[in-house]
Homo-oligomer: A and B are copies of this chain.
Amino acid sequence: MAYTQAQANRFNSKLTSQCQNCSLAALCLPIALVDEDVNRLDQIIERKRPLKKGELLFRQGEKFDSVFAVRTGTLKTFNLTGNGEEQITGFYCPSELLGLSGIDNDIYPVSAKALETTTVCEIPFSHLEALSEQIPSLKRQLFKIMSRKICNDQDMMVLLGKKSADEKVASFLINLSDRFKRRGYSATAFRLSMSRGEIGNYLGLAVETVSRVMTRFQKNELIQVEGKEITLINIEDMQKLVGKNEECDSILKFE
């Protein structure tokens, strides 16, 4: 059931030529499918109307039926704790997949909200599952995507449990940088679509601490801050700061 390199290339060129296929990229980029399979996959994907900033894509407790691939914009997932405050569990950039945690109970355990105008593709999970029966490499890919999510979350657990404020913020920025880079954007200059408050919430820090760390990083010429625009000036020293180790280079990997 192996696909040839030629097929893989055909698939990749098809992907890049079809802008609306960001969602396919999210699902398949590392694997090779024949055109016919790509078309079958494309057929089950629905493009949704854009979400405005603040709109919910799905709500905690709602029935699960789809996973979503981000096409443009950014979302956050969060849940509401006992006393009503929100706890952010992740940020999702273009080409990333969200909603996987709903499979377990057929209910989304978190809500997803757009941080800016955002477009997503909806992938009904029952269709995806059915299709994965016919395309073994797709099933394998789904397992891999979920496994990667587990790895990333565990890295995040280490970050939250053991790292200092400096290390947390540095890891966060480097992680974003990696994700932008992977999508072909600048790894050194980008815009934070989330507020300092949301960063702090996600990293287990107070807003003030996030702000202080970032100004300190600026003073030490690690980064350049202009409101939400960030430029990483000295990535090497930042990476030293996060204490990333060699063999497992994946503090906070891409979803």
Which residues of A from 85 to 104 have beta carbons under 8 Å from B?
Answer: 87, 89-90, 100-104
Q: Which of A13-21, A145-153, A186-194 forms part of the interface with chain B?
A: A145-153
A110 to B151, CA, bound (A): 9
- Contact check: which of B140, B156, B243 meets A82 at CB < 8 Å? B243
- Closest chain-B Cβ to A246's Cβ sits at a distance in Å of 8
Chain A residues 56-113 with CB under 8 Å of chain B are 60-61, 79-83, 87, 89-90, 100-105, 109-110
A140 touches B150 (CB 8 A): no
Q: In the complex, what residues of B have CB within 8 A of residue A160's CB? A: 157, 160-161, 204
Name the contact of A154 in the complex, choosing from B81, B82, B110, B142 (C-beta under 8 A). B110
Task: Name the residue of chain B whose CB is nearest to the CB of A130.
Answer: B136
Interface pair B140/A143, CB less than 8 Å apart? no
Please name 12 pairs of A and B residues whose Cβ atoms are closer than 8 Å in the assembled complex, sorted by A: A61-B248, A79-B158, A81-B162, A87-B161, A101-B147, A129-B139, A143-B146, A146-B146, A157-B157, A160-B161, A161-B202, A161-B204
